[in-house]
């Protein structure tokens, strides 16, 4: 029986480890940036669409930032889709002199339906546009956004995604965790794929689509993650999504865990729905046409299931390590020659692998100037706990004492950060710890999302304060 357990768990653990290594390899590519030749000659006429449902608090700030775009004013128009609004969203938007289209359809709620409705209106207008750019009402737009998107589209991309930044990273630990996740994804996921010629993914906001492509393929993306659905449709039709790293939009992140939980559950519901409809189509076409970027897209839509696989692998590892006699479960350490001793080469190699995974995030944030260099140095020193704590607790058999040593070692770095780097960096260091908790919450959220994939009800995130472009 033990041999069967070892064989089955070996296959499972190695499979999950291979997926992890693939994403780690791609992430490392994102540390670098390929040289780009940019063409800032205005070519495309844009319709800027703002999907808004009861957004009276934030809609004005977004429009003001759009009116300041450094792009010829006669080459872009702003359209606000006041979708089933019960507040003054439409009234405020009209006060800025932009186009406001009010929509009331209780049976078809959600951003996907609102966009599909608006696209049909655009196609019938006398004035036609070369491309459509889509935004959420809580966004702010950098003044160079359109000229960067326009430049990328002149490289031949029919769809281009911009850099989704955060406009409120210091508001709460949840907002900070979201910000860290998005900043990391911009390089580890988006820029890395751009560097190697894979397709990027539409991020839901801050992207532009060529009008003819919309007419040819149709939008048809009305699920809870319309961005992912349209990405899959594009890739299946042989298109790649381009990445404009300098086309920045600022997105407002949730402040509380409850808001975050609801939003991320919706994402996982949408991911599961899209995966059930597109995964096998993408895999089949990638094999038939021998195009790896299609297979990479197929892997991406499996994100909910990959999350659960990684969680299951971690649980199996913990069970094996914390069982006195062991259950003959294969763990990845075995690949590196783990002989069961505390400091054999296999264990050391695995700890180095763990340290690298941890350090990628603060390194990326330092490269993009989201954290200071001294903070990065403190993070590098902090990873010593992967090596030092096991040595300090090697001969301690009381798990309570061992845990206290580990906690004490970690707290010492928290104190050192406050002493040498100050209050602001101390708070950020603490929130890095909480970011680990945020990451763990993905597991129950993903389970909920998978179980409720057929629930298509849209949950609106309410915004309660106004942030101007000058504040970010």
DSSP state of 470: G
pLDDT score of 178? 96
Contact (Cβ atoms closer than 8 angstroms) between residue 83 and residue 75: no
pLDDT score of 428? 95
Closest to 316 measured CA to CA, from 20, 17, 1: 17
Residue ranges per structural domain of the chain: 2-23+305-445, 45-301
Higher pLDDT, 149 or 324: 149
Helix 2-29 crosses helix 345-367 at what angle (to 10 degrees)? Answer: 30
Cβ atoms within 10 Å, residue 333: 22
d(CA 111, CA 228) in angstroms, rounded, equals 13
pLDDT score of 43? 95
Examine the pLDDT at 336 and tell me if it is beyond 90.
no
Confidence category of residue 97, pLDDT binned at 50, 70, 90: very high
Q: Bridge-partner residues for 78, per DSSP?
A: 48
Which own/partner contact pairs does 152-158 have at CB distance under 8 Å and 24+ positions apart? 152/242, 152/243, 152/244, 152/247, 153/43, 153/44, 153/208, 153/210, 153/242, 154/39, 154/41, 154/43, 155/242, 157/240, 157/241, 157/242, 158/209, 158/210, 158/212, 158/213, 158/234, 158/239
Interval 396-420: pLDDT, tens: 878 788 889 989 999 999 999 999 9
pTM value is 0.91
Interval 100-129: pLDDT, tens: 999 988 777 778 888 989 999 999 999 999
The angle at the Cα of 438, spanning 432 to 440, to the nearest 5 degrees, equals: 115
Interval 195-250: pLDDT, tens: 999 999 999 899 999 999 999 888 876 666 788 889 999 999 999 999 999 999 99
* CATH code reported for the domain at 45-301: 3.90.550.10
Confidence category of residue 337, pLDDT binned at 50, 70, 90: low
Total residues found in the chain within this entry: 472
Confidence category of residue 2, pLDDT binned at 50, 70, 90: low
């Amino acid at each position: 029986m033990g041999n069967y357990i070892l064989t089955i768990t070996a296959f499972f653990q190695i499979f999950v480890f291979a997926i992890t290594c693939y994403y780690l390899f791609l992430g490392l590519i994102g540390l670098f940036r390929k040289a780009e030749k940019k063409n800032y000659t205005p070519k495309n006429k844009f319709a800027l669409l703002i999907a808004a449902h009861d957004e009276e608090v934030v809609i004005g700030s977004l429009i003001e930032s759009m009116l300041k775009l450094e792009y010829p004013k006669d080459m872009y128009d702003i359209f606000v889709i006041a979708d089933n609004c019960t507040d003054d969203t439409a009234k405020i938007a009209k006060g800025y002199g932009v186009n406001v289209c009010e929509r009331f359809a209780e049976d078809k709620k959600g951003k996907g339906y609102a966009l599909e409705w608006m696209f049909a209106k655009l196609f019938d207008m006398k004035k036609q546009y070369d491309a459509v750019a889509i935004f959420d009402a809580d966004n702010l737009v950098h003044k160079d956004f359109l000229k960067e998107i326009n430049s990328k589209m002149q490289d031949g991309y029919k769809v281009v995604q911009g850099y989704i930044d955060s406009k409120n990273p210091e508001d709460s630990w949840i907002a900070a965790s979201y910000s860290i996740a998005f900043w990391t994804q911009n390089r580890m996921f988006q820029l890395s794929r751009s560097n190697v010629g894979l397709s990027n993914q539409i991020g839901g906001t801050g992207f532009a689509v060529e009008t003819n492509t919309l007419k040819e393929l149709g939008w048809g993306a009305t699920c809870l993650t319309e961005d992912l659905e349209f990405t899959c449709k594009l890739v299946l039709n042989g298109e790649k999504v381009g990445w404009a790293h300098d086309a920045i939009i600022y997105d407002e992140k949730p402040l509380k865990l409850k808001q975050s939980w609801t939003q991320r559950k919706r994402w996982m519901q949408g991911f599961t729905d899209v995966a059930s409809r597109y995964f096998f189509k993408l895999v089949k076409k990638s094999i038939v046409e021998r195009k790896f970027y299609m297979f990479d897209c197929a892997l991406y839509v499996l994100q909910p299931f990959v999350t659960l696989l990684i969680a299951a692998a971690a649980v199996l590892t913990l069970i094996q390590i914390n069982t006195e006699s062991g259950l003959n479960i294969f763990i990845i350490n075995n690949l590196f020659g783990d002989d069961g001793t505390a400091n054999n080469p296999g264990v050391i190699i695995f700890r180095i692998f763990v340290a690298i995974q941890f350090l990628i995030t603060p390194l990326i944030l330092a490269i993009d100037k989201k954290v200071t260099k001294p903070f990065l140095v403190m993070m590098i020193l902090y990873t010593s706990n992967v090596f030092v704590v096991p040595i300090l607790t090697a001969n301690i058999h009381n798990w309570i004492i061992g845990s206290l040593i580990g906690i004490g070692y970690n707290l010492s770095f928290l104190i050192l950060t406050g002493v040498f780097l100050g209050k602001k960096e101390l708070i950020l260091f603490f929130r890095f710890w909480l970011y680990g908790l945020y990451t763990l919450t993905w597991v129950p959220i993903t389970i909920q999302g998978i179980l409720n994939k057929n629930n298509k009800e849209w949950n609106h995130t309410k915004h309660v304060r106004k942030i101007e472009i000058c504040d970010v």
